Chains A and B, each alone.
Chain A
Amino acid sequence: MDGTIITIKDLNVAYQDKPALWHINLDIRKNSRTAIVGPNGAGKSTMIKTMMKLIRPVSGSIEIDGRTDKGVLKNIAYVPQKGEVNWDFPATVLDVVLMGRYVHKGWVKRTQKKDRDIALEALKTMKMEAFCDRQISELSGGQRQRAFLARAIAQDADIYVMDEPLQGIDITTENLIMDVIRKLQAEGKTFIVVHHQLNTVKEYFDHVVIMNKTIIADGPTDAVFTGDNIEKAYREKGVGV
């Protein structure tokens, strides 16, 4: 089980002329639950978006599962921040979850019964099966997040990348999401989660990356998530700002 699933080497990212990430060197352990923490503007979202090839770095390399080509992205289920999606879009919860199956279908193939079964099973895991015909515009924040995670489960990827999945949701959903994450980890999946509540890091994650434009510390939560490191990340201004 052990080993590295994502290797980032000397990564630099800039928005126009402003540096966003500096000299990032990072190994993410296979089958871990890794939290990414840091103050606002620390480049957490930028880093995972660069991993997903949504942002082109100035320099550096990212290896996922030993590969650098685009095809490897299909093995990553990305759960975006809630605000990144057009919620007025005419679609049902099931429609959204079925989108996760697209990755396995390619071009023009329509979804089949097997895909529907997988999607419904994913909804059941997220306790959303009763909402499968519900319009996404009618969902609460927690339900939306569950629908997104159901889509990720339906995608059946080995790596889950999530951008603040616990932001602004109810405690029931938060507990459910963490239960599902633990269960999927037991099945061999890896989780990389941008996280903003410092008080739950130790309980929810076994590995942590503390960053502010550059990596302050990374490793097993027990060893790395110390007051010193946190203070460093949250007190100091990021490099180059």
Chain B
Amino acid sequence: MMEVLTSFTFIVVAAGTMILAFAGGMVGAISVMKGQSLIGDAVGHATFPGIVLAFMLIGVKETYTLALGAVLFGIIAFLTIQMITNHSKVTLDGALALVLSSFFGLGMALMSFVQGNPDFEGTQGLNDYIFGQAAYMLRSDVYLITAASVISLFILAAFYIQIRIYIFDPVFSRTAGINNTLMNFIILIITILLISVGLKAVGAILIVNLLIAPAVIGQLWSSRFSTVLLIAGSSGAFAAFTGTYISTAGENIATGPAIILTLSFLMALSLFCAPKGIIRRNIYKRRMGGVS
């Protein structure tokens, strides 16, 4: 066991995924409480063409440029979603599904174009951004994740009071002098930022889980805003550590899916056992004499 824990790959991957999952859990909890969990999913998928285009422009898979491409496409995707919902009769869920599939489709088309094209070399690693390939994470990936996470958490801390009021009661927050548009923008930008730096670790398809599952776990265990955020962050980090360990120690289990599965297990456990879980609810209902 010690061998695994002290191996260089394990340390790099565990550090990167844990920091990412901690920040992702906290920021994701805010999106979930705001009722916007699926925006993370759409944006996650939509960042993929940004990765491929950035690669096509510079010709190498350089961490920072690819992340920049992802951020740009995340923003474009969100603006597209807003434009569709504001200017047509398509509802939010319709717009999300449209943007998710068409952007991801664009990414897949671009990828198959460069892969069959002799002008581009070193294209095989692009797949990693779809499903994630944490084992190939570099130091530069970890630095980027750390920087993005610290920035996100710092912004979150700076606007904590305003964000809390805004999510609970947007009308009151407006009248109390809080800039709702700015709050929405901040939540969105840090979400896109974390998604973009986390793609290599867990991939465009699974990344949304790092945002949503910890939030659900947090909400099942606590009824305090700050505690929900802390539990979300911690359970994300815990799952990242466990998942990375499982995948490093075991054979042929990719890290991203191992983390997601650990999170799913924690979530299932919480769904049954947590104070607001199914079992306690039923006991409470029976005590109150209601139908369970």
Contact = CB atoms under 8 A, between A and B. Distances in A.
Interface of A: 49, 52-54, 70-71, 73-74, 76, 78, 80, 84-86, 88-92, 95-96, 99, 102-103, 105, 107-108, 110, 135, 137, 151
29 contacts: A49-B171, A52-B174, A52-B175, A53-B175, A54-B171, A73-B176, A73-B177, A74-B175, A74-B176, A78-B175, A80-B169, A86-B33, A86-B35, A86-B167, A86-B168, A86-B169, A90-B33, A90-B219, A90-B227, A90-B228, A91-B225, A99-B172, A102-B176, A103-B176, A105-B161, A108-B158, A110-B161, A135-B223, A137-B223
B165 A102 contact: yes
B222 interface: yes
Contacts of A107: 161
A14 to B, nearest CB: 16
Chain B interface, >50% SS class: helix
Closest 6 CB pairs of A and B: A89-B168, A78-B175, A90-B223, A135-B223, A85-B169, A80-B171
A88 B223 CA distance: 9
Contact of A91 (B34, B168, B176): B168
Contacts of B177: 70-71, 73-74, 103
Contacts of A88: 33
Nearest to B177: A74
B287 interface: no
A89 B165 contact: no
Given A80-B169, A84-B169, A89 B33 contact: yes
Contacts of B223: 90-92, 135, 137
How would you classify the secondary structure of chain A's contact residues: helix, strand, loop or mixed?
A: mixed
A153 B143 CA distance: 49
Interface string B214-238: 0000010011110110000000000
B175 A54 contact: yes
Interface string B162-182: 000101111110111110000
Interface of B: 33-35, 158, 161, 165, 167-172, 174-178, 219, 222-225, 227-228
A135 B219 CA distance: 13
Contacts of B227: 90
A70 B35 CA distance: 28
Given A89-B167, A90-B225, A92-B223, 20 more contacts: A52-B171, A53-B174, A53-B175, A54-B174, A71-B177, A73-B177, A74-B175, A74-B176, A78-B172, A84-B169, A86-B33, A86-B34, A86-B167, A89-B33, A90-B33, A90-B224, A91-B224, A92-B224, A103-B176, A105-B161
Contacts of A137: 223
Contacts of A52: 171, 174-175
B75 to A, nearest CB: 25
Contacts of A71: 177
B168 A99 contact: yes
Contacts of A78: 171-172, 175
A99 B35 CA distance: 21
Given A54-B175, A70-B177, A71-B177, A85 B168 contact: yes
Contacts of A90: 33, 219, 222-225, 227-228
Contacts of B175: 52-54, 73-74, 76, 78
A80 B35 CA distance: 19
Contacts of B158: 108
Nearest to A155: B176
Contacts of B170: 84
A135 B175 CA distance: 24
A96 B35 CA distance: 19
Given A86-B33, A89-B225, A99 B171 contact: no
Contacts of A74: 175-177
